[in-house]
Amino acid sequence: DATKTAKVTDAGISAGNQTITNVGSAGTLSATNTNATNGADVFNAVTGVTNKGINISANGGTADNVKLGETVD
C-alpha cells in the first residue's frame, strides 16, 4: 500500500500516514533548536507557560499574577 510507505526526500519526511512513535526529547526548546519534538516536550512547554501566568497591574498598582484561564476583573 503506497499510502503507508515511509520515505525521506529532499522535500521532507513522510511517515506514510502513520504515527511516528518513541521520538526522543528535542532537548531545550528554543528559537534555534531544529530538532523534532515529542508530546512530552510540547506538554511541558505549555504547562510551564500556563503555570507561570502573567503579571498584571493597573495605574502603577501592585501586580497580580493571573494564570491562563483565570478571569481578570
pLDDT digits over 27-73, tens only?
888 899 888 889 999 999 889 888 898 999 989 899 999 998 888 87
pLDDT of amino acid 66: 92
Beta strand pairing call for 12-14 and 7-9: antiparallel
pLDDT of amino acid 36: 86
pLDDT of amino acid 15: 85
Task: Determine the Cα–Cα distance for residues 61 and 45; give it in Å rounded to an integer.
Answer: 30
For 8, the grid coordinates are 525521506
pTM for the full model? 0.58
